[in-house]
Structure formats: C-alpha cells, structure tokens
Amino acid sequence: MNSTPWLSIIGLGEDGVEGLPAAARALLEGAEAVFGGQRHLALAAGHIRGSAHPWPSPMLAGLPTLLARRGRPTAVLASGDPFCFGIGATLARHVPPEEFLCLPAPSAFALACARLGWAMQDCATLSFCGRPLERLVPLLQPGARILALSADAETPAQVAALLRGLGLGPTRMAVLEAMGGPRERRHDTTAAGFAHAPDPLNMLALEVVPGPGARVLPLAPGLPEDAFEQDGQITKREVRAVTLAMLAPRQGELLWDIGCGSGSVAIEWMLRHPANRAIGLEPRPERAAQAARNALALGVPGLRLVRQAAPDGLAGLPAPDAVFVGGGGARPGVLEAAWEALRPGGRLVANAVTLETEAVLYAAQDRWGGALARLGVERLDRVGAMRAFRPAMTVTQYAAEKPMAGSGETLSPQRWGPGEAAPPLAVAGLGARPGVSASAVVALVREAEQRSGLRVGALAAPWFRRDVAALTEAAATLGLPLHWVEEEALSAAQPRCPTPSETARRATGYAAIAEGCALALGGRLALPRIAGEGVTCALSVEE
C-alpha cells in the first residue's frame, strides 16, 4: 500500500485561500484534481491549477470518481475543520489514514466560542444540515449552552418557533453569520422576539432559559405517560423505569422493541445516549404512526419502525444488543427468535400481565436462566368523597443475559439437549457479488465449517447487498439468521482484517468485506477469508 498521502483534505474558511497556511496552499496548487462544493471551488478558483470537480447531489455519488484517482495528487476542499460535522469522516471510511493528509482550519464552533467567550467543553454541539430540528429537544436543559450549524437561512426562525412551542421563549439566541469573512455579522435576540433574516451561511448559539410551564425532558428514565401520544396501551412510567434499568442501555447499542405500541421504551432507550439506536415492531399502523410522532416530538427521530408482528418481522434486522418484549410475548416463536438473534452478552427483558404470557416467561427462565420479578404499582385515586390507593395490573418481568459463545452455557434451546454444553458458534461473514447463487453461498459456508471445525450460528453480510436474494435464500436453506452489517460497523472492523484486497477496495470502498462482516459480530477471527464462486467467507468467534 502506498504510504505517501495522495489525498489532501483542506479546510477552508470564509477568508478563502488567503487564510490558508503555505503548506495547504502548495498542496492545493499542486493537485491534479480538486473536489469540493461550488462555494469552496469559487473561493479557491484562482489557485486551482488542475481540474475542478464540484460534488454532485447526493455527494456520495462523486466518491467513485475521487477513489479512482488513488495514488495521484488530489485535493478535497471542506469548510473549516473537515472532521467536525464535515466530509472528513466520510472520506476516512474509504481512504486509510496513511493515504490522506488533513489540514484543518478553525471550525465554526471554534470561531463561535471565540466570538462569544464560551468554553467549547461546556457547550453541546450539533448540526441541522440534513438532520431534523427535533434532535435539539433532549439538549434543552436549563442553563445549557448549545452551538448548532444551520442548514440555511430559514433554520434560525424554525428553531425559535420550536423553542417557543416548548415554553422556552426566554432562551437567548445569537445568530452568527459568515464568520471569518468580509460578510460576518452577529444578531442577538430571544426565541420569543426573533425576527431576523440571516445570511444562509449561519450558525446558532443558544443559552436555554425556561419560561413558566416549560416542557423540559428530565434526565432520569420513566417519563410521565402524558409525555406520549397514546391510546392507553403504554408501559407505565414506574414499570418503564425498572424495564430500562434491566435493559441496561450502553452507548451505541441497538434495541429491538417488540410490540412497541406508543414507542415509550424504545424512545427512552434512545434518550439515554445520542448514539443509541432502536427498532420498534408494531403491526398496527395507527400505533406505529403514533410511535413515530412521539419519537419526533421527544427528539429521537431516528427510531426505526417495522409494521410487522414478531417473529416474522424480525427477519433480516441487524442483530440487537438488547430486546424488550412488551407485547406479543405469548405468540409462538417470539421469545425464541429474539433470543436466537440477540448478540452474545445481550439482554432480553419481557413483561407480562396475562397468565398465558407468564407461562411463556416461566418456561424461558427454565431454559435460559435469568430472573423473574413481580412489579406492582398503586396510585392514589378518589373513592367517592374519600381517597385510596388503586392498584394497577401486576407485571411479571423476565430478564436474562445471553451467555458469551464458548462459555459452556447453552446459547439456544433449539440446538442442544438439556445440560449439554454448546460448542462455540461462529459468525460467517460473507462478501458476495450481485449475481452469486444461493447454492454457492451454502457450499462455501459448509466448507468453512469443515476447515475450521466450528459450527456456524449466524451469517453476516454488508448492508449494500440487501438486494442480493441469494443471501437470504442461503440463510433460509441453512436455517440461520442473517444480519446486515451497517456502514459504521464494517468500517470500524477494517483495521483488524488480515487479508485486505485492493480489488474489493476498488469495487466497494472496503478492502475486507467477509472478514469485516465476521468481526463486526464476533470477537476474533477464527478462519480468514476463503473464496468460492462469486462469494467469500470468513469465520469469527467470541473471545
């Protein structure tokens, strides 16, 4: 691999090339091709000696042209710090760090803090470029300082309206326009009094001040029921708080919320950390729509909803780190499918109020271990002219953690006999060409089992091959779950892959797909990449 950087990622301010250090200017002028937005190319026009390539829309469509230039002097222009809500992270997913050199300029956040006299470590930062405004809602705590990149000239007025609607009209707003250039301006106001037409290139600085009756999300789990639009089918706040504690959310984890109803558990899971993800299964369209509205209103618009019932609706979903079964637990195969899909070390929590579902939970505890608890809540109510505590329906809660592979504990009740220790189950990572056949995939997975002496318990393939029907057919033939590895997980696994392929990198942007998919779900590589007809396979097992 070429160790000399061929790609220069140059941060550009509103002062243009004049604000660049000499080294950045030399790289720009020496590039055979320069990629960037129209505004950036215009700012640097007098110093571009090679060909200029404006990014298409969507921008990702221009990456193949850029990557085809590997090894030849190429520059990319970006705003300020390319790795601060910029193109840097996208490029780094396709170009190894040793192949690029980044020369950042001050970010818009750094410039804003310098203008305002704020310490950046005390500020929350976010971008509204291509992102919903509602992501702001969880950050709106009294006294919080927030810096946000605007999408356009309309963003400040939209944010002001959002703040007023939440009772945060006294919040102080500073609109900072075209910072670092000749058009720089600053406008100070409040959300209640906002009336300004800013430059399209602007950012917002907020100091949150609640008004009377302001709706501020508490930081603890267990939001009141009236925080959600719901039809009465909702996990009560006291039970929900205990449920979240047993699910034990951790940064970046994925939750399946089966029978999500109003979405309350999934939404509170996502509120625990901005990187947390959730998929809610809700077959009733009116409840799914309700959950989507709740997620947007409470600041987690990324909640993904599947309008199907389990277990059928679970097929093809990415493997979860935790599963909550709040409805449909008595349906045959639901708990089994959830347990099978759960990552080793993941948590399963299921709540029951009916005897039929309780019986399923008792059986699950017999097979998988874990804990059973009864949760009872009584609330004060009127009884005629007097008062008394009225009990809600008692909830039976089952909670279990799936053992790690190779621990000697049973991983799946469907595969091993009572008391029989399960051998380590391997994850088969797959790289496939679009025209591959299902039989070729099945044959290579079985060959991998023979070579390694391991038994495959799950398949993993890259998200961009979802439309390859042979992968789904092969999983059905083998009787194994198929997990789609998302872009971030596949990128993160690349440095650990021992047999990178330049052919694969040129075709997909990733040098090791089969090994990357295997490592994204498992702990260590047990079988490096082997090849079949139109397919590659690698095996991993948990440490």
Confidence of residue 94 (pLDDT cuts 50, 70, 90): confident
State phi, psi for 141 to the nearest 5 degrees.
-100, 145
Question: Which of 115-124, 128-137, 203-212 bottoms out in mean pLDDT, i.e. has the lowest?
Answer: 128-137
Of the chain, the percentage scoring pLDDT greater than 70 comes to: 95
Is the peptide bond prior to 106 cis by the omega test (within 30 degrees of 0)? no
Choose from 20-29, 59-68, 503-512 the range with maximum mean pLDDT. Answer: 20-29
415, with CB counted inside 10 A (0-12, 13-18, 19+), is middle
Handedness of CA 245, 250, 251, 252 (dihedral sign): negative
> CA geometry: angle at 302 spanning 299 and 308, to 5°?
120
Q: Which fold has domain 7-105?
A: Cobalt-precorrin-4 Transmethylase; domain 1 (3.40.1010)
61 pLDDT band (50/70/90 cuts)? confident
Query: For residue 3, is pLDDT > 70?
Result: no
The pTM assigned to this predicted structure is: 0.71
| Two domains, one topology: 109-208 and 232-402 | no
Q: Which CATH class is domain 232-402?
A: alpha beta
Q: Is 391 helix (H, G, I), strand (E, B) or coil?
A: strand
How much is the pLDDT for 5?
93
Q: How confident is the model over 287-304, as a mean pLDDT?
A: 94
Tokens 């963003």 label which residue? Answer: 155
What are 172's strand-pairing partners? 190, 207
Domain boundaries, the chain: 7-105, 109-208, 232-402, 426-541
Q: What CATH fold (topology level) applies to the domain 109-208?
A: 3.30.950
* Pairing of β 254-258 and β 277-281: parallel
Banded pLDDT at 543 (limits 50, 70, 90): low
- Sheet of 145-149, strands arranged across: 123-127, 145-149, 202-207, 172-177, 185-190
415 — pLDDT class (breaks 50, 70, 90): very low
Domain 426-541 has CATH 3.40.47.10: no
Mean pLDDT of 429-454: 89
pLDDT above 90 for 44 = yes
Of 339, 223, 233, nearest in space to 287 by CA: 233
Q: Which segments of 150-247 are extended strands (E)?
A: 172-177, 185-190, 202-207
Closest C-alpha among 394, 391, 396, 371 to residue 381: 391
- Cα(147)–Cα(346) distance, rounded to whole angstroms? 35
> Contact at 8 Å (CB) between 153 and 187?
no
* pLDDT band at 138; cut points 50, 70, 90: very high
Chain mean pLDDT for the chain: 90
pLDDT beyond 80 at 377:
yes
- Bridge partner list, 537: 430, 530
Strand partners, 382: 387
Q: What pLDDT, on a 0 to 100 scale, did the predictor assign at position 327?
A: 82
pLDDT for 398 beyond 90? yes
The answer to whether the CB of 86 falls within 8 A of the CB of 109 is no
Instruction: With beta carbons less than 8 A apart as the criterion, state whether 328 and 351 touch.
Output: no
- Residue found under tokens 């279990």: 400
Q: Side-chain half-sphere of 54: how many Cα atoms within 13 Å?
A: 9
More confident of the two residues 413 and 484: 484
Tokens read off for 68: 């085809």
Contact 261, 233 (CB under 8 A): yes
Place 420 in a pLDDT band, splitting at 50, 70 and 90. very low
Predicted local confidence at residue 435, as pLDDT:
87
Higher pLDDT, 373 or 454: 373
pLDDT band for position 489 (cuts 50, 70, 90): confident
31: left (phi over 0), alpha (psi -120 to 50) or beta: beta
In this predicted structure, what is the pLDDT of residue 215? Answer: 94
For 223-227, 256-260, 332-336, 521-525, which range has the lowest pLDDT when averaged over its residues? 521-525
Tokens of 492: 């993160």
Instruction: Pinpoint the alpha helices (H) of 369-501.
Output: 438-452, 469-478, 487-493
CA distance 459 to 375: 38
CB atoms within 10 A of CB 425: 20
Q: Band of the pLDDT at 319, cuts 50, 70, 90?
A: confident
What is the crossing angle of helices 469-478 and 438-452, to 10°? 50
Q: Which residue has the higher pLDDT, 240 or 421?
A: 240
Structure tokens at 436: 């591959």
Cα–Cα distance measured from residue 374 to residue 394, given in angstroms and rounded to the nearest whole number: 7
pLDDT at 413 over 70: no
Distance CA 139, CA 143 (A): 10
Looking at the predicted structure, is the pLDDT value of residue 449 above 50?
yes
Task: Provide the pLDDT confidence category of residue 404 given band limits of 50, 70 and 90.
Answer: low
The count of C-alpha atoms lying within 13 angstroms of the C-alpha of 306, restricted to the half-sphere facing its C-beta, is: 20
- pLDDT beyond 50 at 285: yes
pLDDT of residue 422 exceeding 50: no
Take residue 157 and report the two structure tokens written for it. Answer: 């007025």
Q: Return the structure tokens found at 283.
A: 């077959």
pLDDT-derived band at 255, boundaries 50, 70, 90: very high
Mean pLDDT of 350-365: 93
Name the packing angle between helices 355-368 and 334-341 (round to 10°).
Answer: 40
pLDDT tens per residue, range 199-214: 999 999 999 999 999 9
Distance CA 176, CA 108 (A): 9
CB-CB contact of 441 with 470 (8 Å) = yes
Which of these, 132, 126, 175, lies nearest to 153 by C-alpha position? 175
pLDDT of residue 318: 87
Q: How large is the average pLDDT for residues 495-504?
A: 86
In angstroms, the CA 83 to CA 412 distance is 43
Q: Find the helix or strand (DSSP H, E) in which 146 lies.
A: strand 145-149
Q: How far apart are CA 540 and CA 512, in angstroms?
A: 14
